[in-house]
Each structure stands twice: as structure tokens, then as C-alpha cells.
Amino acid sequence: MNLLKSITDQICNLLLSKGINELVDLRVSNIDSCDYQINNLVKYQNHSDINLIKTNISRLLDSSDLIESHNFTENQFLNLRINANSIIQNLENVKNNVLRDNKESVIIDYGGPNIGKPLHVGHLRPLNIGRSIYLTNKIIGNDINSDIHLGDWGMPVAQIITYCELEGISFDELTINMLEEIYPNASKKYSSDNDFKEKSQETNKKLSSGEKEVFSNWKKISELTLTSLKETLLILNHDFDYWWGESSVNDLIPDMLQNLENEGKIEKDDGAFISSQITDPRILITKSDGSYLYITTDLATALLRNKQISHEKVLYVTDNRQKLHFEQLFESLSFFDFPSKEYEHVGFGTINDSNGNPLKTRDGGNLKLVDLYEQAYNYIQEINSTLSETDLHCLTNTVLTYSDLLTNRKTDYKFDLEKFTSVSGKTGIYVQYAQVRAKKLIETLSEQKPTLQIPSTPLGPLDRKLIIALANIEFHLELSLKNNEPHHLANYLYDISNAFNTFYQDSNIKKIDDDAERNQKIFITSLFIEYSHLVMSCLGITPVEKM
């Protein structure tokens, strides 16, 4: 933790002088009377110098302004209580404080919609989780690029093209609504009608080899999908640095396969290419008819990204069911000696209805994201009819984002609009309300953020609680980054909002006569606004103006 880094560094040196070489691990304590805990000494209970080490640490802590008190438990856990009055001065400029010294360059691959299909509820989690990981990385200063990796190539598109050709549907007159109907029909026909299947395979070959007419029809379909996709993404406040897709790597695949074959990394097996790596089962690289698989394009995509975007790490955000695909991809990338990067699959669970089944429309179809947005919008409007369109829009996105990020990404959760829009409890509405309240207070007192008077007025227990909660931001950021888990920050946002609300209700700030005391409360309130907004921006939530 940066805030207490000077202290942890000094403890580290003290330990080193007694032959103990390790990083000092500071954790948030769950004991009421203390704030942090250091566990390093537990395993050195029988160290010959343990008493001397403790005396030296005590001397150091006693002389520090930042520490109010400390104690060692019988097992040598070290408990620390912070001097909130002195720490408050270090809490300003949170945006600078969270910047990292060691920057990483990262690519995040998320969203991944497929051509011919509208964005549906299954895209909500990858979009929210991906955006939050992206923004959090940006905020701490990492160099991160997002790529949507469209599923815009291969068999599904070939089926659509073949279907249109057979049904005499003009590619110039296609609309997105037509396309959304064509896709499921074509895919049904593909599995039941052999003739259609063969024709589609034929089309797919022509597409891969860039045959002019098929390619130009593909282009029309792809542009149509992309336009509609961008419209929906705009409503939901998403954008990408790269809009590449499977189609972007088609040209790279023949050479890639040729090289791998020459190097003995892949071999023919019944017409298909399989990886020469001995795994169980063996990894299939192309199909027996020579057509490409999901893994073929993902391998080539790694090559394209290597050429075009400088990076050390790649994150793939897809649902848990694709775990095996990514295991095989990462195995193969390493076996094929592709430039070595850190690869990680960021998996997530499903969104279910109240019965625990995946959320669908009433008639069992895929629930479109625009429809889900509209449902939530209307619901919030009913509860609060005085909100402006802009604020309603903002709150709708807050609800769809916050409730989604609150659960650990690996677990499924139940979609419950009533619960998610409640004004109390862990909801997007609650956290927005807290920051609106804080802004309003500052506005009505028409004060700018005052400078802190030193020495400051003694802090009450609720002031203290809020300040310590704000100071803890680094822990939650750290956890969220380390595990690519936005829920740590989503829960933290609730914690600070809750701490602020209790502080606010208790203080009656408007009625405080003493200037110094009032200023201090306003100072703390503005700190809360800064922190709440920073966490919101990590989550992809825009602070609402009025509620």
C-alpha cells in the first residue's frame, strides 16, 4: 500500500537486518479496533531475535505520525491502528496516488459478438467485465488496448450468404432485422438439409479464397451488422480501440499453416491438421475438409496482434464454457513457439432468471440487449418519474453494469430488476445516490473544496471510518487487478458509499457553526466524491447529476 509504504519499507529493512528477507504484507484487518494487520512475524515466533525485532518495530511505529497505536498478539500478528488525522492529508489526488510505477502493456479481447446476431443478454457480462478491466488498467497507468474480436467469418457467414442466394434475397436490400431472422433459419437448415450444407461449405471455401462476389456479399452483411452493433454499443457506453474480427486474419492463415507444417509442429490426420504436440485429446487445428476452426483464427490473431500492437499480456474475456478452448490455444501458442506473452482466460458465469435458468425472452428466445436496456429504463422511470432523459439513461446503464459486476465473475447470478433498482442495499441506485447527496451538499453550501486546516479538528468515529475506508482503495484496486475481478471494486464502492451515508446522517453538516469543523467535514465529503468517482470510472459507470 503506497500510503504506508514508508513504514512497510522500514519494517522490511529491519527484518532484513535480522536475516529475514521478505516483502511485508499489509492487510486490511477485520478486528474492529484496528485497521491493518501484518502477518510476517507469525512464522518467526521462535526466531532467536524475535524480541529484539519486536522492540525495533515498536520503536519505529511509536515514532510514526501515521500510526496511532499497535500491538502484537500472542502469535505475533501485528495489529495497527491508523492515525486518521494525519492520514487524511495524504488522501488528496487519488488519481495520482493510484498510478503504478511499473507499467504493463496489455491487450484485452472481449465482447466478441458474431455476425448476423444482435447483441443479447449473453453479451452483457463480457462487455461489463471487459470494460471494467480495461478502464481499471488505464486508470493505474497501464498501456491497454481493447479488441472486440468479431465472429465475422467462416461457416456462420457462409450459411447466411447461401441462404440469401437460394431464397433470392437481394444483398443490397438486406436489413438488420431480416438478417436476425435469416441467421437462425440458415443455421437450422444447415443441420437438417444436406444439400444446403454442401452449398454452404462451397460458399465458405469461396469466401476463404476471396472470390469476388461472395466477398462483396460478405462485406455488405458485415457492414450492416457492424453499424447496428455500434448503435447498441453506443447506448450501453462501450467503445473499442480495435474492431478486428476473425476476417482480419484470413490472409495470414495459409502461410501460418504452411510454416507450422514445415517446422513439424502440425501434421495431417485424415485431411485435418492436428498439433504434433502429444496431448489427450490431440488438438485439432483445422477441419478434415480443410476449413478453419475457432482455434485456427485465434492462433492467427495472436500473430496479427504481435505484428501490430506492442504488448506483454493478452486477456480473453469469454464465458466459462470456453475454458478448454483457451487451454488448448495457450498450449499451442507455446508449443508453436509463437512470441511468448502472458495469456489469460478471464471466464464468467451466466445470468439466470428467477428459476435459475439462463435469462431469455418470455417465449424462450434470446433476450436482446436493447430490449433489456429498455425494460430497465422503463422500470426506473416508473419509480422516479421526475428524472431527465439523460439521468435516466445514466441510471439504466449504472444498474445494468453495477449489478452485473457485483458478483464474482466466475459465479452465475439471478437477474432481478426489482432488487437491482432498490434504493437501499448494494445497488447502482444506492451508490449513485450517495455521490449525488455529497455533490448537493457541497453545492448548497456553495463551497469550493476547502483546504485542510492543520492541525485538524479531532475526528469523530464515523469520520474516521470513512477516512480509513477511502484509504483502503489501494487494496481493492490491487485485488481487482491481480485477479481481473471487478467485483472487489464494486463492493468497495458500496462500502465507501455506505460509510459516507452514515457520516452524512450523523454530522448534520449544514448546522455546524464552527468554521474549522465544518470545513473539515466538507473536505472529507469532497474526498468521498473524488474516490467514488474514481471507482465508478474503473467500473464503467458515469456519475449521475441529479436524482
CB count within 10 Å of CB 29 equals: 16
> Closest distance between ligand ARG and the C-beta of residue 368, in Å?
15
> Closest distance between ligand ARG and the C-beta of residue 130, in Å?
10
Q: What is the CA radius of gyration of the chain?
A: 28
Site for ligand ARG in 293-312 (CB under 6 A): 298
- Among 190, 316, 373, 528, indicate the residue that binds ligand ARG (CB under 6 A): 316
String of DSSP letters for 453-512: PSSPPPPPHHHHHHHHHHHTHHHHHHHHHHTT-THHHHHHHHHHHHHHHHHHHHH-GGG-
Number of residues lying near ligand ARG (CB under 6 A)? 8
Residues 6 or more apart whose Cβ sits within 8 Å of residue 547: 384, 387, 391, 395, 429, 432, 433, 436
Q: Is 157 exposed, middle or buried (0-12, 13-18, 19+ CB in 10 A)?
A: buried
Which lies closer to ligand ARG via its Cβ, residue 333 or residue 469? 333
For the chain, the maximum distance between any two Cα atoms, rounded to a whole number of angstroms, is 88
Of 356, 347, 358, the C-alpha closest to 121 is 358
> Closest distance between ligand ARG and the C-beta of residue 346, in Å?
11
H-state helical runs in 22-108: 50-62, 84-87, 94-97
Instruction: List the end-to-end C-alpha distance of the chain, in Å, as a whole number.
Output: 35
The contacts found for 96-99 with CB under 8 angstroms, 24 or more apart, are 97/2, 97/3, 97/474, 98/139, 98/140, 98/473, 98/474, 98/477, 98/534, 99/140, 99/141
> Closest distance between ligand ARG and the C-beta of residue 114, in Å?
5
Question: In this chain, which stretch among 48-56, 107-115, 189-197, 411-419 interacts with ligand ARG, using CB under 6 A?
Answer: 107-115
> Closest distance between ligand ARG and the C-beta of residue 240, in Å?
12
> Closest distance between ligand ARG and the C-beta of residue 215, in Å?
21
- Among 125, 149, 487, 518, indicate the residue that binds ligand ARG (CB under 6 A): 149
3-state class (DSSP) for residue 22:
coil
> Closest distance between ligand ARG and the C-beta of residue 303, in Å?
13
Residue 152 touches ligand ARG, criterion: CB under 6 A: no
- Among 116, 118, 130, 151, indicate the residue that binds ligand ARG (CB under 6 A): 151
3-state class (DSSP) for residue 274:
strand
- Among 24, 35, 112, 485, indicate the residue that binds ligand ARG (CB under 6 A): 112
Which lies closer to ligand ARG via its Cβ, residue 336 or residue 503? 336
Site for ligand ARG in 64-83 (CB under 6 A): none
Residue 318 touches ligand ARG, criterion: CB under 6 A: yes
> Closest distance between ligand ARG and the C-beta of residue 325, in Å?
7
* Residue of minimal Cβ distance to ligand ARG: 112
Of 139, 147, 137, 149, the C-alpha closest to 105 is 137
Site string for ligand ARG, 263-292 (x = CB under 6 A): ------------------------------
Site for ligand ARG in 113-132 (CB under 6 A): 114
What one-letter code names the amino acid at 341? K
β-strands 313-319, 105-109 pairing: parallel
Which lies closer to ligand ARG via its Cβ, residue 54 or residue 287? 287
Q: Which residues bind ligand ARG (CB under 6 A)?
A: 109, 112, 114, 149, 151, 298, 316, 318
